């Protein structure tokens, strides 16, 4: 059985800070990251979906976490073919845009700007990668990204652009995992050593994908989004306002333990990030997995520090 790392998809969203999960002494970004890393061995960074990561921020995260701590980083929205706010682009690139739109797609920006964005995005990840702290870059594709040859080719281009960093792939169009396409998709990912992201999410929506349990590489990834009845809401607290019951987590612990037998490493991220729901569920799921014999990785041990160097990490946002 491979190792299992459990973490959450955020560590500084506003509702979490208000929930009381952090001790009163953790009042700065570095103190919160330090406390989080003493609790979980893995975290997903969603802010990079909204704003490209700065190299200095990656260096600070590298320096403020112990050896063995892992970051999964969500790909910038422009690169996953989502609409992207022009103001989120690098400042020097905005003036080169030949559009009055406030939001743009990758096809709108031109080859030169696209090349710059790719290069800078990947370069900013290098401090984490070189330190062995980058798990995978999450490419979550949109609901209008259906199964087909052109989109399979684009996934391979994403893999190649990020190399030697690893990517994992999450779909939001059901065609990838329904009917005959399911085995075709899994075979494509396996043939190209691409980790498939197993999802648990509300069904019967245009973005719904069924919870297919499969490992297509030596890394398996599971993201638990919850089952909010307001999944389509634009308010994060409503969309992710869900707390898994113990029975639900037991069900997932069985499935994840089985998945871990098919991969060398399994990353499990709770993405029901409303208040401290995600942290509570991740902690309980960790213990349930351990009870089932999974090789659960505990947080890397290190002495707690009174102060850490380099204050001022930027904001860390929420995605889906």
The secondary structure of 184-243 as a DSSP string is: HHHHHHHHTT--BEEEE--SSSTT---------SSEEEEEE----TTTT-S-HHHHT---
The pLDDT of residue 162 is 98
Domain membership flag for residue 313 = no
Domain membership flag for residue 304 = no
The number of residues making up the chain comes to 320
N-term to C-term CA, the chain: 29
CATH code for the domain in which residue 83 is found = 3.20.20.410
Tokens describing residue 273: 């990030």
DSSP annotation of 78 reads G
Domain membership flag for residue 309 = no
Count of CB atoms situated within 10 Å of the CB of 187? 11
The pLDDT of residue 306 is 41
Q: Are 192 and 159 in contact (CB under 8 A)?
A: yes
Domain membership flag for residue 158 = yes
Task: Please state, in angstroms and rounded to a whole number, the distance separating the CA atoms of residues 303 and 301.
Answer: 7
The pLDDT of residue 312 is 33
∠ Cα 46 26 244 (to 5°) = 50
Partner residues linked to 71 by β-bridges: 43, 134
Domain membership flag for residue 128 = yes
Q: Are 38 and 7 in contact (CB under 8 A)?
A: no
Q: What is the pTM of this model?
A: 0.91
Nearby residues of 235 by Cβ (< 8 Å), 6 or more positions away: none
Domain membership flag for residue 315 = no
The pLDDT of residue 320 is 54
Number of separate domains in the chain = 1
The pLDDT of residue 39 is 97
The pLDDT of residue 49 is 96
Residue whose pair of structure tokens reads 């406390």 in the numeric block: 35
Count of CB atoms situated within 10 Å of the CB of 298? 13
Cis status of the peptide bond prior to 118, with omega within 30 of 0? no
Q: Tens-digit pLDDT profile for the chain (320 aa)?
A: 799 999 999 898 889 999 999 999 999 999 999 999 999 999 999 999 999 999 999 999 999 999 999 999 999 999 999 999 999 999 999 989 988 899 999 999 999 999 999 999 999 999 999 999 999 999 999 999 999 999 999 999 999 999 999 999 999 999 999 888 999 999 999 999 999 999 998 888 777 899 999 999 999 999 998 876 666 667 777 666 789 999 999 999 999 999 999 999 999 999 998 889 999 999 999 999 999 999 999 997 655 444 333 333 344 444 45
Domain membership flag for residue 242 = yes
The pLDDT of residue 273 is 84
Domain membership flag for residue 200 = yes
Q: Which domain holds residue 71?
A: 3-296
């Amino acid at each position: 059985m491979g190792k299992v790392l459990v973490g959450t998809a955020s560590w500084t969203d506003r509702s979490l800070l208000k929930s009381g999960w952090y001790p009163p002494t953790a009042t700065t970004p570095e103190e919160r990251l330090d406390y989080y890393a003493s609790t979980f061995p893995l975290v997903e960074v969603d802010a990079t979906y909204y704003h490209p990561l700065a190299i200095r921020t990656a260096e600070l995260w590298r320096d403020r976490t112990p050896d063995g701590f892992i970051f999964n980083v969500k790909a910038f929205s422009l690169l996953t073919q989502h609409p992207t706010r022009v103001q989120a682009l690098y400042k020097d690139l905005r003036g080169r845009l030949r559009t009055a739109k406030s939001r743009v797609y990758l096809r709108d920006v031109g080859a030169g700007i696209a090349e710059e964005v790719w290069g800078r995005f990947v370069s900013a990840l290098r401090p984490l990668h070189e330190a062995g702290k980058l798990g995978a870059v999450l490419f979550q594709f949109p609901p209008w990204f259906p199964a087909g040859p052109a989109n399979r080719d684009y996934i391979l281009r994403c893999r190649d652009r990020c190399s030697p960093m690893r990517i994992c792939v999450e779909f939001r169009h059901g065609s990838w995992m329904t009917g005959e396409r399911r085995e075709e998709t899994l075979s494509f990912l396996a043939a190209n050593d691409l980790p498939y992201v197993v999802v648990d999410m509300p069904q019967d929506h245009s973005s719904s994908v069924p919870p297919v349990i499969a490992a297509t590489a030596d890394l398996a990834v599971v993201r638990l989004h919850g089952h909010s009845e307001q999944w389509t809401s634009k308010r994060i607290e409503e969309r992710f306002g869900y707390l898994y019951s113990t029975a639900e987590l037991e069900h997932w612990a069985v499935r994840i333990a089985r998945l871990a037998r098919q991969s060398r490493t399994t990353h499990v991220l709770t993405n029901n990030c409303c208040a401290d729901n995600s942290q509570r569920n991740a902690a309980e799921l960790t213990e349930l997995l351990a009870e089932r014999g999974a090789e659960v990785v505990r947080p890397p041990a290190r002495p707690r520090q009174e102060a850490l160097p380099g204050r001022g990490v930027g904001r860390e946002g929420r995605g889906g």
